Structure 1
Amino acid sequence: MKCICVECKNEVDLSDYTHIKEGQIIECNTCGITLCVLATNDGVVDVEVADEGK
């Protein structure tokens, strides 16, 4: 699966997350922002900012 951070535009490392589902909270390993999963489509994870990070 692939996820791009909406804040820093870098790819998020999803290796710590085994089963990504809608509503799940993940963190961008580059900028530290908290992201909420909106949907997964064809191996792409759509996210929005849930909370400002580091």
Structure 2
Amino acid sequence: MAVDKTKNAQILVTFPNELLEKIEEYWHTNQLKNRNEAIRELIRLGLEKSPIK
């Protein structure tokens, strides 16, 4: 699937193995489509709780 570069940006991120395991557990537990969707959702949820808006 091609990325619409007018709406999205691709970045390369390296995660420690322990964190990646937690992300994958979140992915499967929440029955998300893929790991990227899980990462985006986790970031969104974290930003919603952030005092910086």
TM-score normalised per structure 1: 0.26
Higher share in helix:
2
Higher share in strand:
1
TM-score normalised per structure 2: 0.26
